[in-house]
Structure 1
Amino acid sequence: MHEAPPAGPLPYYEDPSPGTGALPPRAWWAHSDARRVNLGGAWRFRLSASAGAEDESFARPGFDASRWDVLPVPCHWPLQGHGMPAYTNVRYPFPVDPPHVPTENPTGDHLRHFDLPDDWPGGAAVLRFDGVESCARVWLNGAELGVFKGSRLPAEFEVGELLRPRGNVLAVRVHQWSSGSYLEDQDMWWLPGIFRDVTLIERPEGSVTDFFVHCGYDHTNGLGTLRVDCEPRGTVTVPELGLDIPTGEPVIVPVEPWSAEVPRLYDAELATEGERIPLRIGFRTVAVEDGVLKVNGRRILLRGVNRHEFDPDHGRTVDPETMRRDVLLMKRHNINAVRTSHYPPQPAFLELCDELGLWVLDECDLETHGFEEVGWRGNPVDDERWTPALLDRAARMVERDKNHPSVIMWSLGNECGTGRGLSAMAAWIRERDAVRPIHYEGDLSSADVDVYSRMYADHAECERIGRREEHPLEDAALDARRRAMPFVLCEYGHAMGNGPGGLGEYQAIFHAHERCQGGFVWEWIDHGLRRRTADGRSYFAYGGDFGEELHDGNFVCDGLLFPDRTPSPGLVELKKVVEPVRIEADARRGTVTVTNLHDFADLSGLSFGWVYEEGGEVSDEGRLKVPALAPGESAVVELPLMPRATGRGEALWTVRAVLAEDTAWAPAGHEVAWSQFAVDPVVRGARSVARPGKPHAPRRAEGGMVVLGPGVFDASTGVLRYFNGIQVTGPALDVWRAPIDNDRGMDWYPQGQLDRQWRASGLHRMRHRVVRVTVGGDTLTVVTRVAPAASDLGLRTVSTWSSTGDRLTVAVDVTPEGEWTLPLPRLGLRMGVCPTMDQVDWFGGGPGEAYPDTRAASRIGRYRSDVDALQTPYVRPQENGARADVRWAELRRVDGSGLRIDGTPPFWMTLRPWSTEELDAAEHTHDLVPSGTLWVHLDHALHGVGSHACGPEVLPEFRLAAAPATFAFTFTALGDPGAPLHTLPEPS
């Protein structure tokens, strides 16, 4: 029997403490007259399998690293061919044995040789790391500087006495796993490396050690208060305000306030004896008053997103151009707020939020979600050994970001359970910054915070919270305190795959209840890593694609942007749902009511226009005079008198609000809001399809066929085989869709997973039994029972075919049989046609896809596309591409021949170069290969999409219940190409 050796001191990478040697945290500033040297670029790199595989000799000057690999810094080494990425959402990819980590601990040694600029003055200097995952040990010219953790937080070291004019050697040892890894379980790729900037900064005698800009605004009198605390003391000048004041002394002056809608900044300068720092100052006051979160005295509504830092080629290494692109995309899609999930972003991102205008919920680099897997035993946030590390992370966030007006709340972290460490963090933050409210979602008691926050609360619960009638806490005092708080959904609208649905219904709750102040859609971008197949086709990889022993699949792809930053249909839908101007029509009176939903901006920056269309063609257009309404105000505006309809088709008004002039985030003419309404609202009930001309009588033909007008049918099955000489497959009743991520639901709630239930019920393998084919009079009637094996459920379908002229019409009646408890995925007809008919014109909803609970952004018009462009490239293939409210569609070949389809009532159209079965089987986009058939889905109804991959199920009103249904389609052969189409502008 062998006894375990006595436990010795923990190695530095397992020690729960935050590290050693670093300077106290301080504010970040982008520029000053002190010199800087960017140490990014080509570094020498060596990867070892464990923390102790190599000694420390590499850190000594003169070490020969010429045979090492070359690595670009900043980067993540697994994305440079050294090891592999790994994705988990909750589970730690190592044993939960805090603070210990496995011996198999990939360790990257980095070397950088550099010379100082010729005019470097010498003296004090700071070496700054903006982000290293997860633990770094640093040497300069052979001298050890220290150790730090906190991957997405800065660390600085004093290095002035160690610097040489030539031949400096910077050595950094980075461990993938450390005690810090237990605090960084943040639902993203595990990607070690030096992934943010490394900078050498001169610190002249008398330079700024730290400063804190305090800017308040009194909305009652328009006065701003400015005080800049600085060490050492200096002066602050604000030329536009005529200010030249000593630091530490307050001054009150008339100012224009800063807000996310009107991001007014004043250029200023902070000067001490040794340094001058340019500042951009924004005056604003944040407060919770009367149970409402207010800025500058006004309730704000957060139209927000959660943003991880991500690039499909570089991981969390994001360049300034990409950050600016993110902010511009947010602004152009009516987003006004960002939660920096789940760590502080690169500081330059916050500068962009200051400049362009976004509210920011700044979140600490902290999540211990994996402890939930073990019943929260050993959770660091309730273990005093870890409290210094927690306080260190809070301080490094607050000190770095305290001078940004865009930051209106601090968040303690995400999904850490509860514990004394969180209370200590909240107390420290309040002591340091008493102005900004504190957020944390994981403690339902809200004991340490100023804002009640939840994630994925469904609509009904949000309604109750809005009325301050939520489920009570046992502690009466805590319950009363929480009910007095504003409410924010820190995560909602889970944007995984096709979705999220139900956004408009959430927004209605936010407008109805003062307490409900919006939230942050999860999340901004899919974290798919770009890869290529052997034949060069690009696709995006997700969890499990790199051989991980534990992974959470494509749950890492749940964003409003695809990995290449192409907006998804979900982002287009969100833009429409949260638009800051409401336009409501009274068509019979010929008026529209315009309401300003901004919190601060009036409507003087917008111009309004109208378009009157008939049959999708513009009859007239013009400007609409709307007053410069203040926030919350409404005005009734008359539309121009229009002549009677010409009979060219359905008459529609569209009213648009666009930018009147160029702004910093979008050009003049950019669409902000719109509304469309019919002069005579379309009746959605089934109507008979017009059949001009004399009806054809069906006749039997050779080969067991029945001919009816341009259609040739199989006499025994009643299936259409040819139309106008073109071979077709079907149409047949179809109820199956390739399940979306939201159908797959949450693994921890299997009874709510529709995918499993649908498959268990056999809806993916429905069989058709022909009950009767009747030929008589001027119709061909086919009665079919559509049902799954091993079940007595069925759909009795009566298809009545008729023909007049060159048209062929089918009227379909569906009656459910049996006790249906599940919703149907879809209900309609599927048919296969020649794939050369790949040019599509349609009159109906567009330009993008829509589903019953994601159709707010779909507007009626005449559109043209090819079939390929109708596909939505979700990272994991799934049901996609439906167009709503289609009146008619024309499928054409290049020569103009093809097929026209009219529907009664308007229908959902989906066109694909592959079958539903092939779409269902695909795991990545490169698995989808055209099958030689164009599959045409003509759906009477679709089941909604919801957000049940992590959020609520489909709302009851969007569930497709198995119920009697009647619908009809008319098919017409096409010869010559149609006239040019007028297409409404696609939202930017």
Structure 2
Amino acid sequence: MSYVEDPGPGYGSLPPRAAFASDAASLSLSGTWRFRLSPTADFERDGFDDSAWDELPVPSMWQLHGYGKPAYTNVHYPFPVDPPHVPSDNPTGDHRRRFDLPAAWPAGPAVLRFDGIDSCARIWLNGVELGVTKGSRLPSEFEVGPLLRPRDNVLAVRVHQWSAGSYLEDQDMWWLSGIFRDVTLLARPAGGIEDYWLRADYDHTTGLGTVRVETDADVLLDIPELGVSAHPAGLALEVPVEPWSAESPRLYDGTLSTMAERVPVRIGFRTVTIDDGQLKVNGRRLLLRGVNRHEHHPRTGRAVPRDVALADVLLMKRHNVNAVRTSHYPPDPAFLELCDEYGLWVIDECDLETHGFGPLEWRGNPSAEPTWADAYLDRMRRTVERDKNRPSVILWSLGNESHTGPNLKRMAEWTRHRDPTRPVHYEGDHECSYVDVHSRMYATHAEVESIGLRSDPNERRRDLPFLLCEYGHAMGNGPGGLLEYRELFERYPNCQGGFVWEWLDHGLAAGDHFAYGGDFGEPIHDGNFVIDGLVFPDRTPSPGLVEYAKIIEPVRIEADADAIRVSNHYDVVSTAHLTFTWVLEDEGIAVAEGVLDVPTVQSGQSVSVPFPRLPATGGESWLTVSASLTSPSSWAPGGHVVGWGQLPVSPARVTERPARRGPVFRTAGRLLLGIGEFEPATGRLTTLGGHPVQGPRLDVWRATTDNDRAESAEGWREAGLYRLQHRVITVDADGDDLVVRTRVAPPALASGLLADYTWTSLGDRLQLRVEITPDGLEGTLPRLGLTMAVPGALGTAEWFGAGPGEAYPDSRQAARIGRFSRSVDGLQTPYVFPQENGNRADARWLRLTDAEGTGLHVEGDPVFDFTARRWTSADLEAARHTPDLVAGELVHLTLDVAQHGLGSASCGPGVLPRYRLVAQKTEFTLRFGVAN
């Protein structure tokens, strides 16, 4: 078993080569295998009886089939840090597969290919050892031709959960084991194509593409669409072409052939350069609007089917994402083929992370230890050789969070020598001594601006393009502050965007909810830090993705004096493929629509066009202009909206307020004012137009978000904001007004808030003016407003304001002004870890009604925020999974004048100062009535 703890890359495998398919015979060995967990002596023997073993699908991760349990850590290794040693209690999965060769299988050489095994495997065929492979997310191939027989071949694979390679694979993910990618037997005909590198460059000054094939075989290239026929490999050929880009992923179908084998190829012509401190493709500066993508599925773990990978790509494209960093390992090859086809810029990252040495001050870190040098270089070679023909790959990344050291420098030097056509990325080289781009994680807005101003004293860093390889941590409700990052990327040419962390929540299906770290009894885990994506585990877009899509939209539509300004923020293409439509809404109801005549706008340019002829409206009206696909694309149907803007047309009508109609009545122990009844002792509203209610009264607490808990929640708790108590000072009838004066404060502390409620009857409505004054309370507040409870039958919400989704001060670009309707249940955002959610902003009015359409009406003066849910904020704060939230008999309604921002402090900057809710004197007015 010494091979398990050998820091080397394994043995017996063939040199790495490109991933490709051909017309040579092949046989998929994926499917049902025999499986047994824990070592079994001599199981690799040809005649071993495995009939008593279980069955397991391959590809799969065995913990997700009941063999052991998943475990999640972000940084720490779940075993003693004693490199290269691992625990003797090392779960080991023995796999066996019997197979027959197809009748027409050719004699001669053959290769057995494994695309991914976690973490170390020893392999036998028909009783003969082939070798050992490490590098879980990288392919290994073994020559097996002489060992094959027509029938009853036996493939035996022993997979160890822990190995020396585990020290290089600490990548903030579930620790899962098994043969999780395809296993394939490939015939290799004599005179076939063992490997190739198809170089396809593009000269943007001439419009010519240069294609050249590097291979050891006597290969001919055909590209029928370009009139290329039987062109010899090794000779460069110049032809006029359309270039490949993420926005216009033009691929030319071709064939590489010898007398023995034909390989279909898809060729994308493009050239990557760094000029004037900017990353460019085909001579154009890129702005990377990207995401980090782990491979994950809630039921199959890292065994991600191609159709799920396709769903990811389509969802990215439909939300304006143009780039992917393959964090933190090369993905299944099928994913990169999809990036080529549909168009995404890719940073292809090596299977490397040693983050667990960080808490040990990087003592013993393999990046600096000579005994690990071969393993480092082997992983980089396998990454580059496998993916070198992918036009979508524009940068190579050495890995992630492995500090620095000579092994990483050697990887960079080898990569640059092997492939000088793509720059090298690695965030951990903080001095940028061996990389080609300056990369940072979670830099603040101020730091990004400093980099944009080129004020860095390090001359090498100052002259490189800058990328945020991770930013905008999308954990729970958030991130906030993305708009300000975009503004910096557009202001400073050397700041070329970044990659939000991350694409997907890594929840694992667990009955009626998704599990995260600690749910499987792990002694060491990092909780819900693995739930940090823009889409939920089932691939449902979160509000964060909807917000990101709006912020990075490639076409921006804004007001420009007395015109409409249309700006093209694509990197390459014009707006010729788009149709611009408009709709005019009066008080949220569409009253006119049409097509806007917008001339074609080139990349980086803007035009102003006149407003369409609009009919007169009687109330607050807005013009919404949308840019949508004229025709279907490969990734979205015709009519799909890629950008929109909303412009005010006329303000809300000014209506004469009804005269006050009082007075306050005290009769038979009751306190009455207009359509409301109040508790005589406390002045709290108990009935409104015949509907029982509780409240409203001052409330400043919200169930903390993941970002709150990392920045503000501790201070809020220390200030006692989650357990305020209310003291009624006076309940007085002041003329026609009912005035309730209170002090709201936490136990054990002297600070609090003074809250005065002034109620006035306006006939069929009650007006409430609230005056709030801090009384020794300083700092920020989670929110500021009122909480009340209404009957649970009022289960439908309709409002005129911002929507349709949730919005917060620093995450509200995706909200537009309109009239919307949702069920109370539909207002909730089911974050995997429950937290504050569902806030609707800038409501002019809100109706909560029952099945018959009757209920309550709330009107702002001018606007308010609201949430409506069937549980309290305390219930939401206490919940750890969505089933913990049990609907009660009431609807709990919050009506707010302000909310604290979101930020992304769970791993990044906190709330920007302009979005912090600071305790200060505040006054706001609401009106309450009955909805009929």
Normalising by structure 1, we get a TM-score of 0.93
CA distance in structure 2 between the aligned counterparts of 1:892 and 1:608, rounded to whole angstroms: 37
Q: CA deviation at 1:233?
A: 2.1
Report whether the alignment pairs 1:824 with 2:761. Answer: no
CA distance in structure 1 between the aligned counterparts of 2:300 and 2:439, rounded to whole angstroms: 32
* AA matched with 1:451: V
CA distance in structure 2 between the aligned counterparts of 1:405 and 1:468, rounded to whole angstroms: 31
Structure 2 equivalent of residue 61 of structure 1: 46
Among candidates 536, 542, 549, match of residue 575 of structure 1: 549
CA offset digits 1:540-586 (Å, max 9, x no partner): 00000000000000000000000000000000000000000111113
Q: CA deviation at 1:694?
A: 4.8
Alpha-carbon contact 2:624-2:646 (below 8 Å) kept: yes
Alpha-carbon contact 2:691-2:855 (below 8 Å) kept: no
CA distance in structure 1 between the aligned counterparts of 2:543 and 2:297, rounded to whole angstroms: 20
CA offset digits 1:309-367 (Å, max 9, x no partner): 01000001111110110000000000000000000000010000000000000000000
Alpha-carbon contact 2:120-2:163 (below 8 Å) kept: yes
CA offset digits 1:71-91 (Å, max 9, x no partner): 011000000010000000000
Structure 1 equivalent of residue 489 of structure 2: 510
CA distance in structure 2 between the aligned counterparts of 1:738 and 1:682, rounded to whole angstroms: 34
Alignment of 1:302-451 (within 5 A): 302-451=288-437
CA distance in structure 1 between the aligned counterparts of 2:821 and 2:931, rounded to whole angstroms: 16
Q: CA deviation at 1:121?
A: 1.3
Structure 1 equivalent of residue 697 of structure 2: 732
| TM-align CA RMSD | 1.2
Structure 2 equivalent of residue 741 of structure 1: 706
CA distance in structure 1 between the aligned counterparts of 2:507 and 2:524, rounded to whole angstroms: 17
CA offset digits 1:74-110 (Å, max 9, x no partner): 0000000100000000000000000000011100000
**Deviates most, 153-162 or 631-640:** 631-640
Structure 2 equivalent of residue 172 of structure 1: 157
Secondary structure in 2 matching 1:669: coil
CA distance in structure 1 between the aligned counterparts of 2:53 and 2:216, rounded to whole angstroms: 43
Structure 1 equivalent of residue 857 of structure 2: 900
**Deviates most, 440-449 or 553-562:** 440-449
CA distance in structure 2 between the aligned counterparts of 1:234 and 1:303, rounded to whole angstroms: 39
CA distance in structure 2 between the aligned counterparts of 1:64 and 1:905, rounded to whole angstroms: 78
CA offset digits 1:643-702 (Å, max 9, x no partner): 433x2x21111111000100000011000000012124679xxx9x96425512111022
Alignment of 1:462-611 (within 5 A): 462-470=448-456, 472=457, 479-532=458-511, 538-586=512-560, 589=562, 591-611=563-583
Secondary structure in 1 matching 2:434: coil
Q: CA deviation at 1:725?
A: 2.1
Among candidates 784, 787, 802, match of residue 760 of structure 2: 802
Secondary structure in 2 matching 1:949: helix
Structure 2 equivalent of residue 930 of structure 1: 887
CA distance in structure 1 between the aligned counterparts of 2:218 and 2:840, rounded to whole angstroms: 64
CA distance in structure 2 between the aligned counterparts of 1:819 and 1:738, rounded to whole angstroms: 20
Among candidates 771, 781, 784, match of residue 742 of structure 2: 784
In structure 1, list runs of 5 or more residues that go unmatched: 1-9, 473-478, 533-537, 746-752, 976-988
CA distance in structure 2 between the aligned counterparts of 1:743 and 1:694, rounded to whole angstroms: 43
**Deviates most, 811-820 or 926-935:** 811-820
Q: CA deviation at 1:291?
A: 0.3
CA distance in structure 2 between the aligned counterparts of 1:89 and 1:181, rounded to whole angstroms: 14
CA distance in structure 2 between the aligned counterparts of 1:259 and 1:450, rounded to whole angstroms: 21
Secondary structure in 2 matching 1:25: coil
CA distance in structure 2 between the aligned counterparts of 1:145 and 1:696, rounded to whole angstroms: 93
CA distance in structure 2 between the aligned counterparts of 1:779 and 1:67, rounded to whole angstroms: 84
Structure 2 equivalent of residue 812 of structure 1: 770
Structure 1 equivalent of residue 871 of structure 2: 914
CA distance in structure 1 between the aligned counterparts of 2:188 and 2:597, rounded to whole angstroms: 58
Alpha-carbon contact 1:691-1:803 (below 8 Å) kept: no
Structure 1 equivalent of residue 140 of structure 2: 155
Structure 1 equivalent of residue 23 of structure 2: 33
CA distance in structure 2 between the aligned counterparts of 1:690 and 1:405, rounded to whole angstroms: 65
Alpha-carbon contact 2:660-2:760 (below 8 Å) kept: no
Q: CA deviation at 1:159?
A: 0.3
Alignment of 1:618-633 (within 5 A): 618-633=590-605
Structure 2 equivalent of residue 535 of structure 1: none
CA distance in structure 2 between the aligned counterparts of 1:200 and 1:272, rounded to whole angstroms: 21
Q: CA deviation at 1:628?
A: 1.2
* AA matched with 1:116: L
* AA matched with 2:907: C
CA distance in structure 2 between the aligned counterparts of 1:696 and 1:654, rounded to whole angstroms: 43
Structure 1 equivalent of residue 76 of structure 2: 91
Q: CA deviation at 1:308?
A: 0.3
CA offset digits 1:158-203 (Å, max 9, x no partner): 0000001100000000000000000000000000100000000110
CA distance in structure 1 between the aligned counterparts of 2:545 and 2:509, rounded to whole angstroms: 21
CA distance in structure 2 between the aligned counterparts of 1:270 and 1:207, rounded to whole angstroms: 10
CA distance in structure 1 between the aligned counterparts of 2:346 and 2:703, rounded to whole angstroms: 37
Structure 2 equivalent of residue 667 of structure 1: 637
Alignment of 1:259-278 (within 5 A): 259-278=245-264
CA offset digits 1:591-633 (Å, max 9, x no partner): 1111111111000000001111111111211111111111011
Alpha-carbon contact 2:323-2:345 (below 8 Å) kept: yes
CA distance in structure 2 between the aligned counterparts of 1:919 and 1:842, rounded to whole angstroms: 24
In structure 2, list runs of 5 or more residues that go unmatched: none
* AA matched with 2:542: S
CA distance in structure 2 between the aligned counterparts of 1:693 and 1:96, rounded to whole angstroms: 76
Report whether the alignment pairs 1:696 with 2:665. Answer: no
Alpha-carbon contact 1:915-1:931 (below 8 Å) kept: no
* AA matched with 1:695: R
Structure 2 equivalent of residue 842 of structure 1: 799
CA distance in structure 2 between the aligned counterparts of 1:462 and 1:361, rounded to whole angstroms: 20
Among candidates 941, 949, 965, match of residue 898 of structure 2: 941
Q: CA deviation at 1:35?
A: 1.2
- Count of residues in correspondence between the two structures: 931
CA distance in structure 1 between the aligned counterparts of 2:656 and 2:526, rounded to whole angstroms: 53
Structure 2 equivalent of residue 875 of structure 1: 832
Alpha-carbon contact 1:774-1:780 (below 8 Å) kept: yes
* AA matched with 1:546: F
CA distance in structure 2 between the aligned counterparts of 1:235 and 1:785, rounded to whole angstroms: 86
Give the share of equivalent positions with the same residue, in percent.
59
Structure 1 equivalent of residue 274 of structure 2: 288
Alpha-carbon contact 2:505-2:530 (below 8 Å) kept: yes
CA distance in structure 1 between the aligned counterparts of 2:110 and 2:694, rounded to whole angstroms: 75
Structure 1 equivalent of residue 443 of structure 2: 457
Alpha-carbon contact 2:26-2:186 (below 8 Å) kept: yes
Q: CA deviation at 1:818?
A: 1.4
Report whether the alignment pairs 1:972 with 2:929. Answer: yes
**Deviates most, 458-467 or 786-795:** 786-795
CA distance in structure 2 between the aligned counterparts of 1:771 and 1:521, rounded to whole angstroms: 50
Structure 1 equivalent of residue 616 of structure 2: 644
Normalising by structure 2, we get a TM-score of 0.99
Q: CA deviation at 1:758?
A: 1.1
CA distance in structure 1 between the aligned counterparts of 2:6 and 2:139, rounded to whole angstroms: 19
Structure 2 equivalent of residue 754 of structure 1: 712
Alignment of 1:99-118 (within 5 A): 99-118=84-103
